[in-house]
Amino acid sequence: MNKCEREMLDLLKRLRQDFGAVSVKAEFEAEGTRTDELLRLIDLARRSDLKVTLKVSGCEAVRDLIESKQFGVEYIIAPMVETPYALQKFILAKNKVYSTDQQEDTEFLFNVETITTYNNLPQMMEVARTPNGVQGAVFGRVDFSGSMGLARNAIDTDQITDYVRKTGAACKESGLDLVVGGAVAISSLPELNKMRDTHLTRFETRKVVFGADSATLPEMAQGLQKTVYFELLWLQNKRDHYETIRDEDSARIKMLSDRWDQIKSGMLV
């Protein structure tokens, strides 16, 4: 590990011990996490005794599911699952890759991130709770607001919180977990506690996932601030990693370039 990774590790340990963090998070979807990046994140998670959440690329992303099983991921999220049929496709795909026995250690969830999904929620719940179905839903507030033509700053309004709470009530009735994400910040804490009063299992920032009870901690604002610093360190470490790869052959490239210039000019044969 390098200095930056050791600092990230210390942060994750504190987030788990003091603020109730339960998992780190990566995305093959919008974030475009590469395999080497995911492996570094998994290493940090294991060293800090945290689980790993991975959003795959779609409802039928079989290759992503195969990799998630190889790497040992505890939470898998399927994005843009807007219809009962799309949820059926996700269930069929994960049941194809994971045996019933293997699924005992992995939780599968689908995103509720558009008004279309919400309007289909009764039928979605029926599909979700079928045998070998899914274990929960993740409410993505930013995309949900966007699907309704609302600005990003609508995420902490009563309107969006009401949609989340109604989704939570449906999940609770169906015996499913509800996870809330989408620009979770200090200003979101009052809304998260309203959601928790109905039904909330976890909430997530871009890179760190917390248990629902963390929202009640008096010092949770500090915890959310630390997640911002963790993401900053993560991106800086990622940048430095790829800069090292970019530069590792610079000397040889220059040598070969000079040699090729001499060959073209007839100085070498």
| Residue 53 main-chain phi, psi, to 5 deg | -110, 130
In the block, residue with structure tokens 């929202």: 215
Q: For residue 202, what are the contacts with CB-CB under 8 A and spacing of at least 6? A: 22, 23, 177, 179, 180, 209, 210, 211, 212
What pLDDT sits at residue 144?
Answer: 97
Ramachandran class of 175: left when φ > 0, alpha when ψ lies in -120 to 50, beta otherwise:
left
In the block, residue with structure tokens 């993740």: 138
What pLDDT sits at residue 264?
Answer: 87
What domains are there in the chain, each with its CATH number?
A: 3-264 (3.20.20.60)
Closest listed residue to residue 77, CA positions, set 154, 23, 123? 23
What pLDDT sits at residue 158?
Answer: 96
**Strand 208-211 vs strand 177-181: parallel, antiparallel, or unpaired?**
unpaired
What pLDDT sits at residue 268?
Answer: 65
What pLDDT sits at residue 204?
Answer: 97
Residue 30 to residue 38: CA distance in whole angstroms: 14
pTM: 0.93
**Dihedral (Cα; 167, 73, 206, 176), 10-degree rounding:** 10
Residue 114 to residue 148: CA distance in whole angstroms: 8
Ranges of the chain whose pLDDT falls below 70: 268-269
What pLDDT sits at residue 247?
Answer: 95
Return the DSSP state at 174. T
Q: For residue 50, what are the contacts with CB-CB under 8 A and spacing of at least 6? A: 12, 16, 21, 22, 23, 24
What pLDDT sits at residue 265?
Answer: 86
What pLDDT sits at residue 3?
Answer: 96
Return the DSSP state at 136. E
What pLDDT sits at residue 267?
Answer: 74
Residue 147 to residue 112: CA distance in whole angstroms: 11
What pLDDT sits at residue 30?
Answer: 86
What pLDDT sits at residue 269?
Answer: 54
